[in-house]
Structure 1
Amino acid sequence: MNLKEMVGIKAASYVKDGMTVGLGTGSTAYYMIEELGRRVKEEGLAIIGVPTSYASKEQAEKLGIPVKTIDEVNHVDLTIDGADEISADFHGIKGGGAALLFEKIVASYSKQIIWIVDESKMVNHLGKFPLPVEVVPYGQEQLFRLFQEKGYNPSFRMEENEKLKQTDSGHSIIDLHLDCIEDPLALDEELNQLAGVVEHGLFLSMVNTVIVGKETGPEVIENIR
């Protein structure tokens, strides 16, 4: 069993009958959704899934997990998702899979959040992983120039066919290659002020539990706030 599968299965064990569950996106969340599908089929687990991307929605539906949109539920009990980096103070970068907007919306309405990662994602400071910024196409070149002027080393996210990557909402992504983010809270505020920025990949002070995949087994770390 690989580390991603290990933490995906471990995280799925936190899901109880009757829960509304935010279904994350990405290669680690994939295994969590697979395990929930198994529990629905074999154990009769009764849940509602709120997917954070079209890919997760399609996977859940194929497995027989009933799904609703965030607007069709009044709350989310628990969201389980991957992360691209998690700092020692429990801040995170997400959006490597280009689903950051839906992921942040679902997370914002969740009572509890679990992130599932392998140990390579645990860092002292955020920034080695490029920070995704989701932007509307109108004015995106102006934002790109602004990020260049600020020394944020921007690059547009591209598809394999050399076309601009489009998110599920039809937006573009500009990745900022920052190396080290000294003050995530200040950068969060700065990006939120910019016209044309829809969302960004800084997920600050949101996670309750981190499950880290290690060769010795999954390690559960609680963020006591």
Structure 2
Amino acid sequence: MDDMKKLAAKAAVKLIKNRSILGLGSGSTVSFFIKYLIKRKKEGLDVRCVSSSKKSSYLAKKGGIKLLDIKNVKKIDIVVDGADEIDKDKNMIKGGGGALFKEKILIEFSKKVIIIVDETKLVDKLGRKKLPVEIIPFGAKFVFEKLKKERFKGIWRVCKKNNFITENGNFILDIFLNKLLDNPKKIHDKIKGIVGVVETGLFCDVNPKVIIGREEGGVDIW
């Protein structure tokens, strides 16, 4: 699977233009992208980045890539990110690494979005993976019960026997979707409308360029 991820990452790096400001997503495929981006930088590519996670920040900074504070950035040229699932309409489930809120901010305000995945992430309809939902800790129990009443059952993500805490200081509830999604946007809106929910891992209406690493070699581009 790593070989497919590397193929997608290499193809994405070739699309990065000089003097770009990049938004870095998170996840294993993005880690490969950062590795190849560092190589291009050493060959003379001038890029600066805004990162969605500590891990991506660490990898980029270690490789000599200049990181920017988002409050000092006037534009983001391209965001490069991965996905846990992506359907034929380019709707996605993301957030397996817990950085979904920051990823969504970068994507929302970027001129272009590139999603890099291996072919195992392609699905006809979303819903096989658990759906991450970021929730404010204050009153989280009530939000959990409200979601249950709306037939969204899930489990709190844990880390070392404690609640997993996002970089924003929030909890993650991983929801089991009881059926494949015909209308992901409708589900997103329903969950997001509950007070205490910060964001869902459903990414709809993004219309990214999708680069898919294939098992037989090479990539497909949607």
* Same topology, TM > 0.5: yes
Confirm or deny that 1:218 pairs with 2:218: yes
Report what 1:78 is aligned to.
Answer: 78
Report what 1:197 is aligned to.
Answer: 197
For 1:208 and 1:155, the matched residues in 2 are separated by 30
The alpha carbon displacement at 1:185 in A equals: 1.5
Report what 1:141 is aligned to.
Answer: 141
Higher relative contact order (CA 8 A, sep 6+): 2
For 1:167 and 1:21, the matched residues in 2 are separated by 22
Report what 2:156 is aligned to.
Answer: 156
Task: Give per-residue Cα distances to partners, 1:169-199, cap 9 Å, x unaligned.
Answer: 1100011110422321211211222111111
For 1:54 and 1:96, the matched residues in 2 are separated by 15
The alpha carbon displacement at 1:36 in A equals: 0.6
Report what 2:106 is aligned to.
Answer: 106
Contact 1:49/1:66 (8 A) holds in 2? yes
Report what 1:170 is aligned to.
Answer: 169
- Identify the range of structure 1 (103-112 vs 177-186) with the bigger mean alpha-carbon deviation: 177-186
Report what 2:7 is aligned to.
Answer: 6
For 2:180 and 2:220, the matched residues in 1 are separated by 26
Report what 2:16 is aligned to.
Answer: 15
Identical aligned residues as a percent: 37
TM-score of the superposed pair, with normalisation by structure 2? 0.95
The alpha carbon displacement at 1:149 in A equals: 2.0
Report what 1:37 is aligned to.
Answer: 38
Report what 1:50 is aligned to.
Answer: 50
The alpha carbon displacement at 1:217 in A equals: 2.5
The alpha carbon displacement at 1:135 in A equals: 0.6
Q: Structure 1 residues 220, 209: closer, same or farther in 2, change over 3 A?
A: farther
Task: Give per-residue Cα distances to partners, 1:136-156, cap 9 Å, x unaligned.
Answer: 100111111122222222110
- Identify the range of structure 1 (23-32 vs 186-195) with the bigger mean alpha-carbon deviation: 186-195
SS at structure 1 position matched to 2:155:
strand
Task: Give per-residue Cα distances to partners, 1:99-134, cap 9 Å, x unaligned.
Answer: 001100011111111111111110011111111100
The alpha carbon displacement at 1:168 in A equals: 0.7
One-letter code aligned to 2:118: D
| Structure 1 stretches of 4+ moved >3 Å | none
- Structure 1: 5+ residue stretches without partners: none
Task: Give per-residue Cα distances to partners, 1:56-100, cap 9 Å, x unaligned.
Answer: 111110000001122221111111110000011111110001000
Count of aligned pairs: 220
One-letter code aligned to 1:24: G
Contact 2:93/2:201 (8 A) holds in 1? yes
The alpha carbon displacement at 1:218 in A equals: 3.4
Contact 1:88/1:124 (8 A) holds in 2? yes
One-letter code aligned to 2:27: G
CA RMSD of aligned residues (A): 1.2
One-letter code aligned to 2:116: I
One-letter code aligned to 2:133: V
TM-score of the superposed pair, with normalisation by structure 1? 0.94
For 1:218 and 1:194, the matched residues in 2 are separated by 43
Report what 2:90 is aligned to.
Answer: 90
